[in-house]
Amino acid sequence: MAALFGTDGVRGLANRDVTAELALDLSVAAAHVLATQGAFEGHRPRAVVGRDSRASGEFLSAAVNAGLASAGVDVIDVGVLPTPAVAFLTKHIGVDLGVMLSASHNPMPDNGIKFLSRGGNKLDDDLEAAIEARLREPWERPVGVDVGRIKTDTGRAGAQYIEHLVDTIPYPLDGLRIAVDCANGAASEVGPEALREAGADVVVINASPDGRNINEKCGSTHPEQLQVTTVAAGADLGVAFDGDADRCIAVDHRGVVVDGDQIMGMLAMAMHERGELDKNTLVITVMSNLGLRLALAEAGISYVDTAVGDRYVLEAMRTGGYVLGGEQSGHIIFAKHSTTGDGVLTALQLASRVASTSRALTSLASVVRRLPQTLVNVSGVDRAGVKTDPVLVEAVDRATDELGATGRVLLRSSGTEPLVRVMVEAGTQTDADRVAHELADVVRERLSL
């Protein structure tokens, strides 16, 4: 049987892969595992449960609530809020467990279940494995006063989250006009409100979730509407979240996209100037553009590379004691303010940088000159041979030598299918395309199944 938990909880097609029965059983198992680990000793356990705006989140959160309460856990149901809000509340309220129902940037039919430990951190792999192992085991059910109770939050949770976010910015947003695309998702209320509370004049689009329209041709993965709106509204900048608002991308006043690499570069330099970038280091993934690496070097800032995935960024940050990290996609983690990527927090920090410098986002983003990048997926191949096939290794070495200091080659094996991703960055798009396709041909020739 394949493992249920992936790199970001349990995720799949709602009501087929991720069912109400599974949600209930996982919640019961999670309560049992945490109790066995001693997380509930000496007190009655409590949990915070939130969801994004998908229709399936309604029955899945009801199932999670039922499972936890049946296992003797008191539940605070905070309704529709971003993933980072649930993480914040788990720590801020001091509960024993957080649960988020979301499939992030995935299409509406998908959904997922993510558990957070006390303090708002993602569960370790061994805890997730233990939960999976204890699914549907026989157990002695609590009765009478020992069953859990379910309390529905009436808006205080969202207000606490907004207050926390606004308190993080080093400079208010007075005088800025900001366009905001909420992806019809979890930040449809708290995202614009946080920016208003910080002083911005806010123009909002895609903030009318109906259970079906989350991520539908909008948000951080589809910035086209935001680009048009930002220009038409005469906004200083625009920001877009994904469905659960754990990521953010931006556009400048001309409607040009500013991605996660550029945002990280700007914010790292800002923190470096203020003496707040601990160990003078930014944590990035192997997919971050070479242009970011060159910009950091020029600014005298170090970086640490991790595998793709925000959990790996988090692991590196915790291990090394770093305070800023993230991904090109806009997952950006501020360790002093959050335990996970936070799109609204990122938007506030970025806008505060614009306001404090009185410089246009266009100018600030120019410190990171993104090099042309080409990605080719080669399917039907033996992914294990990427680092061992001598002809392919030689071809990669030749390409790397040819591109020199202004180019980069990266071959990544898929973890779930017979596929190799060939990524090439170069000084020109023509060179990036040519080298990427040449290497892809070698992968097909040498590793075909």
Phi-psi region of 225 (alpha: psi -120 to 50; beta: other; left: phi over 0): alpha
Burial 308-331 (b: 16+ CB within 10 A, else e): bbbbbbbbbbeeeebbbbbbbbbb
Tokens read off for 332: 């950006």
Tokens read off for 414: 């898929």
Q: How far apart are the first and last CA of the chain?
A: 24
**Inter-residue contact 321 to 283 (CB < 8 Å):** no
To the query of whether residue 448 is one of the catalytic residues in this protein, the response is no
Burial 262-301 (b: 16+ CB within 10 A, else e): bbbbbbbbbbbeeeebeebbbbbbebbbbbbbbbbeebeb
**Inter-residue contact 10 to 121 (CB < 8 Å):** no
**Residue 65 DSSP one-character state:** H
Sheet containing strand 408-413, strands side by side: 373-379, 419-425, 408-413
- Please choose, from the candidates 164, 23, 154, the residue with its C-alpha nearest in 3D space to the C-alpha of residue 89: 164
Name residue, tokens 């449809």: 188
Catalytic residue (one of 53, 56, 102, 104): 104
For residue 124, with 0-12 CB atoms within 10 Å meaning exposed, 13-18 middle and 19 or more buried, which class applies?
exposed
- Please choose, from the candidates 176, 379, 341, 370, the residue with its C-alpha nearest in 3D space to the C-alpha of residue 245: 341
Strand 373-379 and strand 281-285: pairing? unpaired
Measure the CA–CA gap between 220 and 84, rounded to whole angstroms: 16
Active site residues per annotation:
104
